[in-house]
Amino acid sequence: MTNKEWFKQAKFGMMIHWGLYALPAGEWKGRRMPYIGEWAMQYFRIPLAEYRPLARAFNPLLFSAEEWVKLARDAGMKYMVFTSKHHEGFAMYDSAVSDYNVVKATPFGRDVVAELAEACYRHGLKFGLYYSQDLDWSEPNGGGYTAGKTWCGGEAYWTNNWDFPDDAHKDYSQCFEEKIKPQVKEILTKYGDLCLIWFDTPKTISAAQSDELYRMVKTYQPDCLINSRIGNGHGDYTSAGDNQIPDDDKGDMLFETPATLNDTWGYKSFDNNWKSAEKVAAIKKHLNERGINYLLNVGPDYLGRIPAPSVDILREVGRRG
């Protein structure tokens, strides 16, 4: 079966947002954020001098790849997509490109991507990786700067302009060549067959750079699918906007809706606005009837636990079939 065929038949997958942002869990210095938890560094404009040391406190001793994969399987999910590196710039695998990663910078010292890849293989789930190819707040030349465009009502730019304020002279191509491309090569060559690469938030990346990444993926993993958020019209399938539920039938198109169980992607300790299992099942039915995959996110906490309400909801969805 080709990857396009399995993708069309898969219908239901688990997305996992996990990184250093699980530690602040939506709060910083006595303030709570109304926005999604994985954007804590950006929302609070946390300097790297304060954010990087979070790695020294990241020790999720309750993390179990086996439990995560079994939960996805029990929910009826056919594939998993994990954040190998989100916008914060911290890699959740053993990267030789940057020591700012879960193996080298934390007391935990384990390669999360490797453990998840192995567990997925054991239990028959397809495995894919998310990688933020444009935004990288740990890099002086990380992308996201678009002239005249702001985020969150003008409070902050997409790029890290509090540590590195001169957007006009940033050279994203330097970050692209020195970090993005080498790390994408790493995730393509270190963890076996990947069903897909899930890129995100193309703001600065050029058409030529999107094309180069696309060709790189196909060089190392010809059957690996690439989502439309690689940017500039590239990609093998369409990722809808976050939590968008289309009403039209997609026919033979490869189409996917990425969505949340509450209101955040990364863990936020006070976000208890959970969708019921009945609601999740209804959304899944609505999407699947229109030829759309439902990629449903969980946000594990700083100890490596998928929140209990997420577990209960997903198990009930699985029982409903």
Average pLDDT over residues 114-132: 98
Residue 168: band (very low, low, confident or very high) from pLDDT cuts 50, 70, 90: confident
Domain that holds residue 269: 3-320
Q: Is 74 exposed, middle or buried, given 0-12, 13-18 or 19+ CB atoms closer than 10 A?
A: middle
**If you ran DSSP here, which 8-state letter would residue 306 be given?**
P
Identify the sign of the CA torsion 170, 27, 35, 248.
Answer: positive
- Burial tier of 252 (Cβ tally within 10 Å: 0-12, 13-18, 19+): exposed
Instruction: Give the type of residue at 37.
Output: G
Element (H, E) at 113: helix 112-123
- pLDDT single digits (tens) 249-292: 999 999 999 999 999 999 999 999 999 999 999 999 999 999 99
Distance of CA 124 to CAs 77, 136, 209, 293, Å?
Answer: 11, 32, 34, 18
DSSP string for 231-244? STT--SBEEPSTT-
Burial state string for 94-107 with b = 16 or more CB within 10 A and e = fewer than 16: bbebbebbbbebbe
What pLDDT digit, counting tens, does each position of 181-229 carry? 999 999 999 999 999 999 999 999 999 999 999 999 999 999 999 999 9
The type of residue at 143 is G
More confident residue, 146 or 209: 209
Host H or E run for residue 255: strand 255-260
Geometric angle at alpha carbon 36, from 268 and 305, rounded to 5°: 35
Q: How confident is the model at residue 298 (pLDDT cuts 50, 70, 90)?
A: very high
Q: State the CATH number of the domain containing residue 29.
A: 3.20.20.80
- Of residues 142, 43, 27, the one with CA closest to residue 85: 142
Q: Are 257 and 36 in contact (CB under 8 A)?
A: no
Number of domains comprising the chain: 1
Residue 317 has pLDDT above 70, yes or no: yes
Surface-to-core class of residue 251, CB atoms within 10 Å of its CB (0-12 exposed, 13-18 middle, 19+ buried): exposed
Contacts of 279 (CB under 8 A, 6+ apart): none
**Contact by Cβ (8 Å): 210, 218:** no
Tell me what pLDDT residue 2 has. Answer: 83
CA dist., res. 179 & res. 91, Å (int)? 11
Q: What percent of the chain has pLDDT over 90?
A: 91
pLDDT at 13: 98
- Gap between the terminal Cα atoms of the chain: 24
pLDDT in tens, 170-181: 899 999 999 999
Mean pLDDT of 126-140: 98
